[in-house]
Amino acid sequence: MTAHRQPGTVLTDHTFAVPLDHAVPDGEQIEVYAREVVAVGRERDQLPWLLYLQGGPGGRSPRPLGRNDWLDRALDDYRVLLLDQRGTGRSTPATRQTLPERGDAAAQALHLSHFRADSIVRDCEVIRRGLLGADERWSVLGQSFGGFCAITYLSFAPEGLREVLITGGLPGLRSSAEDVYRAAYPRIERKNLGHYARYPGDIEAVRAIVAQLREAEVTLPGGGRLTPEAFQALGMMLGSANGSHTLHYLIEDAFVPGLSRPALSDSFLAEVQGHLSFAGNPLYAVLHEAIYGQRSVSPGPTGWAAERVRREFPQFDAARALEGDGPVLFTGETIHPWMFTADPALAPLHETAELLAGQEQWPDLYDPDQLADNEVPVAAAIYHDDMYVDTADSLATARAVRNLRTWVTDEYEHDGLRVSGGRVLDRLVRLARGEL
């Protein structure tokens, strides 16, 4: 094990071998990496462990810079384990560079079918037993998709859990992918209208950008295509605390000033690429709809649900918006087939993604009966009108999970854990302990 020091912290690297398929424990093994973080001076203390499950899917765990963000509050009470979930970060990777070694698209899709929350939870149990021992429990903090994983954990391995803290991540237990997106588009529209009310000049600016993209083929610095639909995908930013402001500053610098003909600036295109490319997180795109697949809810394929449901909301059609005088609406946390041709990081995985979209009979991820009898203390922050996770679904799940307490707030957006300076985590800890 390798240890490092940062201001106020000691970091220790851990690598664990886990089965690719936990149903075949003696079969192929992959590596899962995790970083232990403890406050300076407390390295030898018998502290309870807090496992952090990152949002995503496909997001690596945070890279700490000392006692920053929520970690500062966590280190007051816990020894923290930042997990790079399978396929991410320093764990055995699953990318356009590594997946072809698995074989053809069918072999790649089969491989990736083992990268959902159920497999992640089983990885966590292997790690818990290795670090703590079979009889010791740990606490779990789940952000966004990490909260989905935490509910899966409560469903199938509650014996490993001391307490569960969830931020912006209570999933609909019985919601299909179609249900998720049918509820999402109206929320995304509200975020758009809020942005344009804040920055009314962006209405014409965005219309001008989209018109330019319709008139000429635009290539991003990394070789990807910037189509109107790709530009609309920048709406992903609108669900975070400062996302609307960041988007506005991006829009205002779109065109090169002083030219005889309009042209999008190199700096604008470079920044757009940074927001749109999936090079650093391909699993987010490839597995995004698969995280909602459950045979008891919807036995058929997810089938590009976001793309199909979008047709029910014609207000998101950019061409139609330009025919009138209204705003062009951005989209949000939605994955579409065209992304696998427009983004060079995803293009080699196009056929694999199609096979995953067509897969039927995904195993269930939640056990409502077990959750109804849950004895593990759970505290969950639900962000009012969260763009990424439906508030109605979260509240229904909160009612369905025994021993769960909620904090519903409009003080923060989906990234409240990160931007609150430890306040969100502190409240959840106190809720779980019964101090509030």
Contacts of 274-279 with C-beta under 8 Å, sequence gap 24+, read 275/234, 275/236, 275/237, 275/250, 276/220, 276/224, 276/226, 276/230, 276/233, 276/234, 276/343, 277/220, 277/222, 277/224, 277/343, 277/345, 278/339, 278/343, 278/345, 278/346, 279/222, 279/343, 279/344, 279/345
Structure tokens belonging to residue 28: 């192929």
Distance CA 226, CA 218 (A): 5
Q: What angle do CA 226, 232, 234 make, to 5 degrees?
A: 90
Q: b or e along 230-243 (b: 16 or more beta carbons within 10 Å of the residue's beta carbon)?
A: bbbbbbbbbbbeeb
CA 271-276-277 angle, 5° bins? 100
Out of 179, 202, 343, 386, pick the active-site residue: 386
Query: Given the structure tokens 């957006």, which residue do they identify?
Result: 413
- Does residue 144 have an active-site annotation? yes
Instruction: State the burial class of residue 110 (Cβ atoms within 10 Å of its Cβ: 0-12, 13-18, 19+).
Output: middle
Q: How far apart are CA 390 and CA 181, in angstroms?
A: 9
Q: Choose the catalytic residue: 61, 119, 139, 144.
A: 144
> How far is residue 312's CA from residue 272's CA, in Å, rounded to a whole number?
27
Length of the chain counted residue by residue? 436
Task: Select from 405, 413, 396 the least CA-distant residue to 436.
Answer: 405
Identify the bridge partners of residue 14 per DSSP, sorted by sequence position: 34
The secondary structure of residue 352, as a DSSP letter, is H
155 catalytic residue (yes or no): no
Tokens 């201001």, located at residue: 7
User: How far apart (Å, rounded) are the C-alpha atoms in residues 321 and 316?
Assistant: 8
How far apart CA 270 and CA 222 sit, in angstroms, is 8
How big is the CA angle at 236 (ends 234 and 240), to the nearest 5 degrees? 125
Q: Which residue has the tokens 């500053």?
A: 249
Q: Per the structure block, which two tokens stand in for 27?
A: 């079969």
Catalytic residue among 111, 195, 288, 414: 414
Of the CA atoms within 13 Å of residue 324, those in its CB half-sphere come to: 12
Q: Which are the catalytic amino acids?
A: 144, 386, 414
